[in-house]
Amino acid sequence: MERFFSLSMPWWEFIARAVVVYLAVLLLIRLTSKRTLGQATSFDLLLIVLLGNSVQNALLGDDISLGGGLILAATLLLLNALTGRLSSYSPRLDKLLEGEPVILASNGVLFGQRLKAAAISENEFHSARREADIATLAQVRLAVLETSGHITFLDARQ
């Protein structure tokens, strides 16, 4: 029962590890993807699961205590809330963390280089277009990859 509550390292080390891992993973995710969870493919879901497993030891070290896990959980939730709060007050930080919208198509012309830069295949783009109830590329007045990872379409017929 003692092992259940006994920390294997000082409490502040859990917090320091959580801060470092949170910032590193945030940076890596920011650099590699704009997809939202609702648009995640099975590959993205697999990546999320493996990513969580891969940073587990960096967070916990050899600790298996309840207290260590709770300190980590509280720290990660606090960091996430703090990041959101700071982004809402600082347009510069928001732009750094979230990026900027990208125009993917305009007046029926698809910008292939921008799709590639955003790691979106033409199939994904056309699937999103059909989901937006736009039958053809010619009907696309504007297609924007939002900072959330969602593609917004403006229909030329409207």
Question: Greater confidence, 45 or 56?
Answer: 56
DSSP 37: G
Q: Is there a contact between 83 and 26 (Cβ–Cβ < 8 Å)?
A: yes
What pLDDT does residue 115 have?
93
> Which of 45-49, 69-73, 143-147, 150-154 bottoms out in mean pLDDT, i.e. has the lowest?
45-49
How far apart, in whole angstroms, are the C-alpha atoms of residue 108 and residue 1?
66
Answer whether residue 154 shows pLDDT above 60: yes
What pLDDT does residue 63 have?
84
How far apart, in whole angstroms, are the C-alpha atoms of residue 158 and residue 154?
8
What pLDDT does residue 45 have?
72
What pLDDT does residue 158 have?
66
- Side-chain half-sphere CA neighbours of 137 within 13 A: 12
| The model scores a pTM over 0.75 | no
What pLDDT does residue 64 have?
82
Mean pLDDT of 61-78: 88
Q: List, in sequence order, every residue forming a beta bridge with 102; answer none if it has no partner.
A: 145
What pLDDT does residue 35 have?
55
What pLDDT does residue 40 have?
63
| Model pLDDT for residues 82-128, shown as the tens digit of each residue | 998 999 999 999 888 888 899 999 999 999 999 998 888 999 999 99
Average pLDDT, the chain: 86
Greatest mean pLDDT range, 18-27, 29-38, 102-111:
102-111
Answer whether residue 58 shows pLDDT above 90: no
